[in-house]
Amino acid sequence: MSTTGAVDQVPARLGRRERNKIRTKERLYDAALTLFTEQGYDDTSIDQIAERADVARGTFFNYFQHKEDLLSTWGEKRRNALTTALASDSGGGSAAERLRRCMTVLGRMSEEHQKETGALLTAWVRAGHPLDEEPYLADLFARIAATGMQRGEFCERVAPEHVGNALRDIYLGALYRWCGRPDGPAGTLTKELLAALDLMLYGLVSPATPGETAR
């Protein structure tokens, strides 16, 4: 999730020193994302990031201990963007509708920044973050599934956390495939995410035909 323009949204209630710190950190972050997108994560040095942000090299380490910390920041900003986009839901609508909203927001968030997402996701995977990150998405999906079960919208044969893990796996799998096809048609990721969600919600098995005993 790009933060271009974020430096103009620093709360005015903060003191000048705090505002300048936030602006400097955002300038470093935006410079890094631009370079990662242009030339790749591995080929971008801290010196280049500092130069692009027009700060001294040592200033970088006032805000990020390692270059890899920028990947964690990228993931955190994407989570915040998803939370903001879903804030208006407030539990309204059916659980299925809320899950579709989640998948739509996730898909469009990546599609709107395709090159950036491809570059950062590749680096994120190489750094091993899919294995050690907090299960934010799985927990979000699980909470929505639990609400659906409480309302009688979903069956209770599967634990909510299993639903959450499965939906997170669906999302990441689709995201990886999409990043590997950078020249695909517009909207491909969102379309696949919604199709996979429908598959999970409604399944493959067709209704029993007349005379057939449903299992």
Rounded to an integer, the average pLDDT of 191-203 is 94
Residue at token pair 């599934």: 145
pLDDT tens-digit map of 14-47: 788 888 899 999 999 999 999 999 999 999 999 9
- Where are the alpha helices (H) located in 87-135, listed in sequence order? 95-111, 114-126, 129-132
Q: What CA–CA distance (Å, rounded) separates 78 from 98? A: 18
Span 56-115, pLDDT tens digits: 999 999 999 999 999 999 999 999 999 998 887 655 689 999 999 999 999 999 999 999
Q: Give mean pLDDT, residues 158-170.
A: 96
Q: For residues 33 and 53, what is the distance between their CA atoms, to the nearest angstrom?
A: 11
pTM score of the predicted model = 0.83
Tell me the HSE value of 182 on the side-chain side, using a 13 A CA sphere.
9
Query: Is pLDDT above 60 for 52?
Result: yes
Specify the pLDDT at position 183.
Answer: 78
- Residue 127 tokens read as 């750094």
**CA atoms of 37 and 117, how far apart (whole Å):** 8
Calculate the CA dihedral of residues 170, 171, 173, 179 and round it to 10 degrees: 160
Give the whole-angstrom CA distance, residue 12 versus residue 137: 32
Kindly report, residue by residue over 133-150, the tens digit of the pLDDT: 788 999 999 999 999 999
- For residue 212, what pLDDT band results from cuts at 50, 70 and 90? low
Instruction: Tell me the Cα Rg of the chain.
Output: 21
